[in-house]
Structure 1
Amino acid sequence: MARILVIDDHDTLREGMTVTLTRAGHAVSAARSGAEGLAAYKKSPFELVVTDLKMDGMDGIAVTRALKQADANAVVLVVTAFGTIETAVQAMQEGASDFITKPFAPDVLRAKVDKGLELSATRRQVEKLTARTAAHDADAALTHGSLVGDSEPVRKLLAQARKAAATDATVLVRGESGTGKELVARMLHQESPRKDGPFVVVHCAALAETLLESELFGHERGAFTGAVKRKLGRFELADGGTLFLDEVGEIPASVQTKLLRVLQERELQRVGGEETLKVDVRVVSATHRDLQAEVKAGRFREDLYYRLHIVPLQLPPLRERPEDLPLLARHFVAKHGPRVNRRVTGMDDGALRALTRHAWPGNVRELENCIEQALVFAEGDVLTEADLPSHLTGGAARLDAGLPVPHGDRPLPDILEDLERQLIARAYDKAGGVKTETARLLGIKTSALYYKLEKYGFLPKGERPEEG
């Protein structure tokens, strides 16, 4: 069923066309003048407009010209009793897709309308694909890192994510900034039944309230100052696929209300429009905030929270999976080396030990940035400690310096574990990797040291303590 607008100031012809097209299964609206029809189209665009050429006031040529100015994709069929070449050419020059000469049989009208609707569907699909491509190109520039790791927290997360991917459930990905929330969202899409559909991203924290609403739901031409043409929203672009709402905790209250309606009803209206659009979208959202605390503080709607929080996935920060750090570091050398510094093929042990001494408040994203920076300045074919950024090798990272100040508001056990790991790393470095000497410097038994070295990723699991 298509939405069709019939414009004619002759009652008999208008009503006849309306009846014919309604019987053909279309939703038909009728207007008695060109101005009335144009106003109806601007409120809610139609898939096809059938307009008489000769009308009082605004004639069919003027209607066609105005419709094409309002919507470049408008498909217009002009009805004329003056079937001359000049009239047809003028109508086509103004943007009409076809014309039909009076009198005509119902079958001829239906055939012309079917042809026009095929053209309309093609134009809308091209518009959607073009918008999706532009959105994808913009989003690709904001994607960082890669979900790499073999630690227990990562294996557990991936197992949960794969189970969630097989369903159509709404997922909330939680984690600190830089942990790879978008990468998990992309994995959920790629391993889901929707993998052949679009994956569309909205970076909620990067947009002002008015822009975010337009970005999510789209807008009609003239909806606000600067809205010079219709814009399809990200929900429409994600139809049949997955919509990723990054930093959903930053969405303002007014937009939260509209988002809740879309999640509940699976339908929306563009800003400034009246047409209700159905959408088939799986929503995956992410946040670094504690949304339950935001709900208690009155900054986030409780009903929206429960709509988003069907399947929660928690990403571990890098400090909770230090055994993944060498794997990640080498991955980023391989990823950026060919582009930044082709000579570099790896990292030495000194550089890896220096990396383990850092708390990584920026998580995997910070690590990737540091590796890329080191590649820029590296002189040899492997990265050394001297190639790393100064904040990793100087000041608090030196053995004779004080411990670094912990970053962020974190539980005391987490802070103490960080400090213990850094102390062990410094002693291990000072002892040249000799375990018995490392244990002596720390004042602990060698067996206890092995446990801690395994725990913090300095050694592979299962390595036996030294004898003697």
Structure 2
Amino acid sequence: MNPMSLPPLSSTAGGSLQVLLIEDDAVLRRVCVQALDLADLPVVAVGSAEEGLARLAAPLPDGLAWGAVVSDVCLPGLDGRVLLQRLPRQGLSLPVILVTGHGDIAMAVEAMRDGAYDFIEKPFGGDRLVESVRRALDRQRLSLENQDLRARLERLAAGGQGSGRLLGDAPAMRTLRRHIEALAPLDVEVLIQGETGSGKEEVARALHEASGRRGEFVALNCAALPESVFESEVFGHESGAFTGAGRRRIGRIEHAQGGTLFLDEIESMPLSLQVKLLRVLQQGTLERLGSNQIIAVDCRLLAATKVDLLALSETGAFRADLYYRLHVAPLQVPPLRQRREDVPLLLAHFLAEAAARYRRQAPVLSPAQLARWLAHDWPGNVRELKNVAHRLCLGLDEPGETLSEPGGLVHTLDQVERLLIEEALAVCEGQVSRAAERLQLPRKTLYDKLARLGLGPHRAGER
């Protein structure tokens, strides 16, 4: 598990979220600010709706964003209900919690219909306020994250990566795309290595599409062919070449003339035919089974494997000369567990894809569900994630039951939190103050988490 690839779950597209409190009663305003401060919820307090609207319209420093509004209903000048109606007109989409000492059930229902997130009647305890604000911030954080995911998908689509093949902002994916761009136009064989479900065929298709070759992309899984028909399927045969060969068959290599031949699971190719493939690569010609005619071929070979071909060649299970011919330009496709920061992006893409396919509404995932997804190891890689997304869209799985992680949600969240803190400490060279800023946490809170999780700064003596 690579903690360096995980993004902070507490971060959002807009940065650290703060609360705007609008209350004309100075004493109550001070009490509310104190309750929110004690809960580590950043708050800005003003005494009127007019001042609150001005604060919301003013630009915020980098790394800050408004997360929620708490407003008294009865205010001098504009009241809280009018404020609630004006926010959308100013292009602001924020959860609004209304507070009043003069409300009743009818007013609460009407306020909720107008779009209020919650309604609190005076007198109320600090716990009630904090609990409502936390839920509002979680909702806003999720909304911002969804907006950010949509924007990232649009940027990737604009850059020619909208097919879902090479989605991802992780450093390993950016490196892979850069290598594909460099290798695509070159007439060189490429060996694509990666685990099952990591996207090896999608990498091959991306190479073909960027190569400029006008012929077809022809894909063949070597493990799916019985050895008895392998030679005929790949190299072709003449009529009468063997019993049952009633007519000539053009093999996959010829079919890929002018294009690309992709051989997946090439480790399954029979040894007797590996030498024949090597001859095609070296001489650019082939002979169909049952024929002496030499046929010139121009197709680019891309091969993929999920095993260590060098180790196989050392044991004689794979031809070493073919391995070294293919290994001139190797590409490694990273497993999903090594690029976990791409999980939200991929999940959003596949949920949208499934929603369009099945004509259903894509489900919205909560931060807790996303944390569970981030903590999962994804042994089936992108293919497993895609299947999970489609099942979720079809309503076949409850979000909390889709993945079988041991230990329950608390254990999963602790696991994610540990990875995030380890990442921040590593990036900040063990300096807790800098790590706290990176994680957008008070330093005392981070020290408490370090103690609870049994972690420590990488640099001794840090204060």
Matched residue, 2:398: 387
Q: Residue 257 of structure 2 contacts residue 299 of structure 2 at CA under 8 Å; is this kept in 1?
A: yes
Matched residue, 1:226: 244
Post-superposition offset of 1:222? 2.5
Matched residue, 1:275: 293
1:17-61 CA-partner distances (Å, limit 9, x unpaired)? xxxxxxxxxxxxxxxxxxxxxxxxxxxxxxxxxxxxxxxxxxxxx
| SS of alignment partner, residue 219 of structure 1 | coil
Quick check: 338-347 or 157-166, which moved more? 338-347
CA distance change for structure 1 residues 368 and 174 in 2, over 3 Å: closer, same or farther?
same
Is 1:299 equivalent to 2:310 in the alignment? Answer: no
Q: Residue 245 of structure 1 contacts residue 286 of structure 1 at CA under 8 Å; is this kept in 2?
A: yes
1:173-209 CA-partner distances (Å, limit 9, x unpaired)? 1111111111111111111131x22111111111111
Correspondence for 1:257 among 240, 258, 275: 275
Report the Cα distance in structure 2 between the residues aligned to 1:173 and 1:300, rounded to whole angstroms: 16
- In structure 1, the gaps of 5 or more residues are 1-143, 379-385, 404-418, 428-432, 449-467
Correspondence for 2:406 among 376, 391, 396: 396
Correspondence for 2:452 among 438, 441, 445: 441
Post-superposition offset of 1:248? 0.9
Post-superposition offset of 1:284? 0.9
Q: Residue 333 of structure 1 contacts residue 346 of structure 1 at CA under 8 Å; is this kept in 2?
A: no
Is 1:287 equivalent to 2:305 in the alignment? Answer: yes
TM-score (normalised: structure 1): 0.54
CA distance change for structure 1 residues 162 and 395 in 2, over 3 Å: closer, same or farther?
closer
Report the Cα distance in structure 1 between the residues aligned to 2:374 and 2:206, rounded to whole angstroms: 28
**Equivalenced residues, count:** 275
CA RMSD of aligned residues (A): 2.9
Matched letter for residue 371 of structure 2: R
Report the Cα distance in structure 2 between the residues aligned to 1:438 and 1:422, rounded to whole angstroms: 9
Matched residue, 1:459: none
Is 1:360 equivalent to 2:378 in the alignment? Answer: yes
Matched residue, 1:5: none
Report the Cα distance in structure 1 between the residues aligned to 2:417 and 2:251, rounded to whole angstroms: 48
Q: Residue 242 of structure 1 contacts residue 281 of structure 1 at CA under 8 Å; is this kept in 2?
A: yes
Matched residue, 1:308: 326
1:416-439 CA-partner distances (Å, limit 9, x unpaired)? xxx965855899xxxxx9953654
1:270-315 CA-partner distances (Å, limit 9, x unpaired)? 1222221110111111111101001101011111111111211111
Post-superposition offset of 1:157? 0.9
Matched letter for residue 333 of structure 2: L
Correspondence for 2:190 among 150, 171, 192: 171
Matched letter for residue 192 of structure 1: S
Report the Cα distance in structure 2 between the residues aligned to 1:421 and 1:254, rounded to whole angstroms: 49
Matched residue, 2:262: 244
Report the Cα distance in structure 1 between the residues aligned to 2:303 and 2:208, rounded to whole angstroms: 12
Report the Cα distance in structure 1 between the residues aligned to 2:359 and 2:440, rounded to whole angstroms: 33
Greater relative CO (CA pairs within 8 A, separation 6+): 2
Report the Cα distance in structure 2 between the residues aligned to 1:237 and 1:248, rounded to whole angstroms: 18
Report the Cα distance in structure 1 between the residues aligned to 2:361 and 2:379, rounded to whole angstroms: 30
Report the Cα distance in structure 2 between the residues aligned to 1:213 and 1:328, rounded to whole angstroms: 38
Alignment of 1:180-191 (within 5 A): 180-191=199-210
CA distance change for structure 1 residues 225 and 347 in 2, over 3 Å: closer, same or farther?
farther
Post-superposition offset of 1:237? 0.7
Alignment of 1:382-461 (within 5 A): 387-388=398-399, 390=401, 392=403, 394=404, 396=406, 398-399=408-409, 421=416, 424=419, 436=445, 438-444=449-455
Which structure has the greater CA radius of gyration?
1
Post-superposition offset of 1:341? 4.9
Matched residue, 2:348: 330
Matched residue, 1:72: none
Q: Residue 145 of structure 1 contacts residue 180 of structure 1 at CA under 8 Å; is this kept in 2?
A: no
Report the Cα distance in structure 1 between the residues aligned to 2:402 and 2:288, rounded to whole angstroms: 48
Percent identity between matched residues is 44
1:86-139 CA-partner distances (Å, limit 9, x unpaired)? xxxxxxxxxxxxxxxxxxxxxxxxxxxxxxxxxxxxxxxxxxxxxxxxxxxxxx
Report the Cα distance in structure 1 between the residues aligned to 2:259 and 2:405, rounded to whole angstroms: 49
CA distance change for structure 1 residues 241 and 359 in 2, over 3 Å: closer, same or farther?
same
1:322-366 CA-partner distances (Å, limit 9, x unpaired)? 111111111111111111352116433222111112111111111
Matched letter for residue 238 of structure 2: E
Quick check: 171-180 or 433-442, which moved more? 433-442
CA distance change for structure 1 residues 305 and 377 in 2, over 3 Å: closer, same or farther?
same
CA distance change for structure 1 residues 160 and 218 in 2, over 3 Å: closer, same or farther?
same
- In structure 2, the gaps of 5 or more residues are 1-162, 423-438
Post-superposition offset of 1:377? 1.1
Post-superposition offset of 1:396? 1.1
Report the Cα distance in structure 1 between the residues aligned to 2:338 and 2:399, rounded to whole angstroms: 22
Report the Cα distance in structure 2 between the residues aligned to 1:145 and 1:271, rounded to whole angstroms: 39
Is 1:146 equivalent to 2:146 in the alignment? Answer: no
| SS of alignment partner, residue 298 of structure 2 | coil
Report the Cα distance in structure 2 between the residues aligned to 1:251 and 1:331, rounded to whole angstroms: 35
Report the Cα distance in structure 2 between the residues aligned to 1:318 and 1:146, rounded to whole angstroms: 13
| SS of alignment partner, residue 200 of structure 1 | strand
Report the Cα distance in structure 1 between the residues aligned to 2:385 and 2:455, rounded to whole angstroms: 31
Q: Residue 164 of structure 2 contacts residue 349 of structure 2 at CA under 8 Å; is this kept in 1?
A: no
| SS of alignment partner, residue 184 of structure 1 | helix
Q: Residue 330 of structure 1 contacts residue 347 of structure 1 at CA under 8 Å; is this kept in 2?
A: no
